[in-house]
């Protein structure tokens, strides 16, 4: 990576406020909450607090700031009568999960690496990009265009904020833009996403309840099964070499199946505790409903419902079971499915409904596939900014299974911030980012904004 550049010098004085404010930002546990959401806090109180933190920061820095209903914070720099470069980032985070060796809502530094929920997705990239924009503004380099920085409150649990902003409030579309919420060099294609809910009545009197998962778009790390006291079942788990924890109450067991979390776009990198629970309970108690559900949804590329597909550009479809619950004899499974550009949304929905029957398959929501030609102005300009700032001319543009705000509007792609070869552990315990990447990204983003703006003049 190149040592210094004009944009490195331009952004150097912002390193201290970047790290100070990242610590404050991460300390806000901005996870979507049904318990605290209301008319004034549509995504929960802590998400509102995170949005207000960004709004107050930008106001103190002299930007024009508008908070739209605690759903979107809009920050403006430059002449609004001119065309816009739009940046889209998010202040919410996935639940912390288990397995951390620190407080996940505290930034901890070890050997030049920062750890904490949100340091990589998306609070760290958001602030790097914000200070890149601020460096341009402070040096009178935003001329002949304007920058609109949008901070959303529920990217991890949907995109209602962006829908509110663009569809309900009818705000203008981006002329060119990016979302700092993926990987470098950039992501020119994102898989389509379909959310499903699968339900079925289950006759399993030995089990009182099943509760697994914390988010629809993450592999289940832990699944709790409350059941009768059955030493035979525990002996069976030991014979099967299943990882579990056992809590013995007066009249029942709580068996906690243990897996390994992973992002919903790459479920094959995790071990799904919820699916293990369905399989082992189904095998031991000879319950066909649980075994059928396991057969349908245990293959992470969708083979179980004949919804698998592959090509050399976007690779594989993916199927992530994010929640597994059984209460009052009703089995509920939440599925996050992602598909490549050689299949259609309709065909995938039809495959689920046909091949998962007799389970009831309900469509929860969809996000369309995104694809930009690699020689387009947007892609070529962002690639130039990345290459010139890093000296990396070998890494190629990416396609991704991850869904970002880029899908919610026009002329926007995901641009950074994970460097090639680095695993930020997004959505998993130990989420991390290199300090040097946060610093360098200020320069990359500043250059990208200015070069996109010059294209608009």
Q: What is the pLDDT of residues 413-437, one digit of tens each?
A: 999 999 999 999 988 899 999 999 9
> What average pLDDT is seen over the chain?
96
**pLDDT for residue 427:** 83
The structure tokens listed for 209 are: 């309840």
Residue pair 404/181 in contact (Cβ under 8 Å)? The answer is: yes
Mean pLDDT of 342-366: 97
| Nearest partner of 444 among 178, 129, 144, judged by Cα | 129
Query: Closest Cα partner for 146 from 159, 131, 154, 136?
Result: 136
Tell me the CB-side half-sphere exposure of residue 370, using CA atoms within 13 A.
Answer: 25
| β-pair type (182-183, 417-418) | parallel
Sign for the pseudo-dihedral over CA of 186, 188, 191, 192:
positive
Q: At what angle do helices 15-26 and 435-456 cross, to 10 degrees?
A: 110
Q: What is the CA angle 285-287-288, rounded to 5?
A: 150
CA distance 250 to 239: 25
Share of the chain above pLDDT 70, in %: 99
Under the banding of pLDDT at 50, 70 and 90, the label for residue 390 is: very high
Q: What would the pLDDT profile of 133-158 be if each residue is shown by its tens digit?
A: 999 999 999 999 999 999 999 999 88
Q: What SS3 state is found at 244?
A: strand
**SS3 breakdown of the chain: % helix, strand, coil, rounded to 5?**
35, 25, 40
* DSSP helix/strand/coil, 260: strand
Q: Are 44 and 157 in contact (CB under 8 A)?
A: no
pLDDT band at 115 (very low <50, low <70, confident <90, very high): very high
What is the pTM (predicted TM-score) of this model?
0.80
């Amino acid at each position: 990576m190149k040592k210094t550049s004009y944009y490195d010098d331009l952004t150097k004085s912002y390193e201290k406020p970047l790290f100070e404010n990242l610590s404050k930002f991460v300390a806000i546990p901005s996870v979507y909450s049904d318990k605290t959401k209301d008319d004034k806090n549509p995504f929960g109180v802590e998400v509102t607090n995170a949005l207000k933190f960004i709004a107050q920061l930008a106001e103190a820095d002299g930007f024009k700031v508008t908070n739209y209903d605690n759903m979107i914070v809009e920050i403006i720099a430059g002449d609004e009568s001119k065309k816009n470069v739009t940046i889209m980032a998010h202040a919410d985070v996935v639940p912390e999960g288990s397995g951390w060796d620190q407080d996940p809502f505290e930034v901890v530094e070890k050997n030049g690496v920062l750890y904490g929920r949100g340091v990589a997705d998306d609070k760290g990239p958001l602030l790097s990009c914000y200070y890149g924009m601020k460096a341009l503004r402070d040096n009178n380099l935003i001329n002949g265009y304007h920058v609109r920085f949008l901070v959303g409150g529920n990217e991890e649990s949907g995109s209602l904020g962006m829908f509110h902003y663009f569809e309900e409030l009818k705000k203008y579309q981006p002329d060119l833009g990016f979302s700092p919420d993926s990987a470098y060099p950039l992501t020119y294609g994102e898989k389509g996403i379909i959310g499903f809910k699968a339900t079925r009545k289950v006759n399993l009197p030995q089990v009182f309840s099943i509760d697994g998962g914390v988010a629809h778009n993450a592999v289940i790390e832990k699944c709790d099964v409350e059941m009768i006291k059955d030493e035979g079942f525990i002996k069976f788990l030991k014979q099967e070499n299943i990882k579990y924890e056992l809590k013995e109450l007066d009249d029942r067991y709580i068996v906690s199946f243990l897996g390994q979390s992973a992002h919903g776009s790459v479920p094959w990198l995790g071990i799904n505790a919820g699916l293990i629970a369905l399989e082992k309970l189904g095998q031991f108690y000879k319950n066909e409903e649980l075994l059928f559900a396991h057969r349908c949804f245990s293959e992470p590329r969708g083979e179980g419902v004949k919804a698998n597909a592959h090509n050399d550009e976007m690779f594989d479809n993916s199927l992530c079971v994010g929640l597994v619950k059984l209460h009052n004899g009703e089995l509920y499974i939440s599925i996050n499915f992602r598909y490549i550009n050689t299949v259609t949304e309709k065909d995938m929905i039809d495959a689920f409904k046909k091949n998962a029957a007799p389970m009831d398959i309900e469509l929860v929501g969809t996000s369309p596939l995104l694809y930009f030609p690699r020689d387009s102005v947007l892609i070529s300009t962002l690639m130039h900014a990345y290459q010139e700032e890093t000296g990396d001319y070998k890494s190629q543009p990416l396609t991704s299974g991850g869904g970002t705000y880029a899908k919610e509007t026009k002329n926007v792609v995901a641009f950074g911030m994970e460097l090639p070869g680095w695993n930020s552990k997004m959505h998993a315990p130990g989420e991390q980012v290199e300090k040097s990447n946060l610093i360098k990204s200020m320069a990359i983003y500043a250059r990208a904004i200015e070069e996109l703006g010059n294209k608009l003049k």
